[in-house]
Structures are given as C-alpha cells and as structure tokens.
C-alpha cells in the first residue's frame, strides 16, 4: 500500500501517532491498532447505531487493503485528533474522516473512541 502523508512541522507527536493509526486501520493491521487502543475502545460509524468493538467484529476495517492511502490533513489538540483523506482500492475512491478521543492528552495515551465517516 502506497501512503501519502501531509507535510507538517513535526512539533506535534500526536499527529504522527494518529497517522500511524490511520494507516494501520486502512491496511487492517490489528497489531498496531491493539498497541494504541484502550481496552474499552469503541469505533462508531456515522449512520450506524451500534459501536464496533475492536475484537474482530465485521465492519471495523475497510475490507480490502487499499492500493493508495492519502491522508490530506491530520490535526490534534489535547486529547483529540482527527484525520481525513481518501483511499483507492480496485479503481474505487473512498473518502474518510476519523475523529479520535484519547484517554488523556499525554503522547502515550491510548485511543478511547473513534467516530468514522466514509463516502464513496
């Protein structure tokens, strides 16, 4: 998978961490997600009433590892971060936005929750 990241000043460690988490999500890398996920993390997808636990439930990952992942912007402030971009898989483009809440503002804090939006 080719990954394209935005240029940033490099002064916010949470931005790099968030980009790593987004790339792990796109390629279905449970090891990295587990490393950064709190035990009680919940993923919520816009338009769905049910949170998706990170325990292998269907619907957590995009389903197919994209050929190209483009992260257009990632921002962070305190215990919050967000990222948006697109991925290309099998000649189809999907836009995404992921909003993260970490357990605390510390740079080693685990992700407590994620709300995601996908659009084809």
Question: What are the tokens at 93?
Answer: 């483009």
Closest to 117 in 3D by CA, of 77, 86, 92, 79: 86
State the pLDDT at residue 58: 47
Closest to 12 in 3D by CA, of 97, 75, 82: 75
Global pTM value: 0.88
CA angle 91, 95, 5 (to 5 degrees): 90
Q: Which helix (H) or strand (E) holds 31?
A: helix 30-36
State the pLDDT at residue 75: 95
State the pLDDT at residue 15: 93
Q: HSE on the CB side for 45, CA within 13 Å?
A: 15
User: Is the CB of residue 86 less than 8 Å from the CB of residue 96?
Assistant: yes
Q: What is the pLDDT tens value at each position of the chain, 120 positions in all?
A: 999 998 876 678 899 999 999 999 998 888 999 899 998 888 888 877 665 555 554 456 666 788 999 999 999 999 999 999 999 988 889 999 999 999 999 989 999 999 999 887
């Amino acid at each position: 998978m080719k990954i394209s990241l935005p240029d940033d000043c490099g002064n916010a460690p949470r931005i790099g961490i968030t980009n790593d988490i987004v790339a792990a999500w796109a390629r279905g890398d449970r090891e990295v997600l587990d490393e950064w996920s709190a035990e009680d993390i919940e993923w919520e997808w816009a338009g769905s009433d049910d949170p998706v636990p990170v325990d292998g439930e269907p619907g957590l990952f995009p389903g197919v590892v994209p050929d190209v992942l483009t992260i257009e912007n990632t921002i962070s402030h305190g215990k919050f971060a967000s990222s948006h971009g697109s991925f290309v898989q099998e000649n189809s483009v999907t836009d995404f936005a992921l909003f993260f809440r970490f357990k605390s503002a510390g740079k080693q804090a685990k992700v407590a929750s994620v709300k995601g939006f996908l659009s084809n």
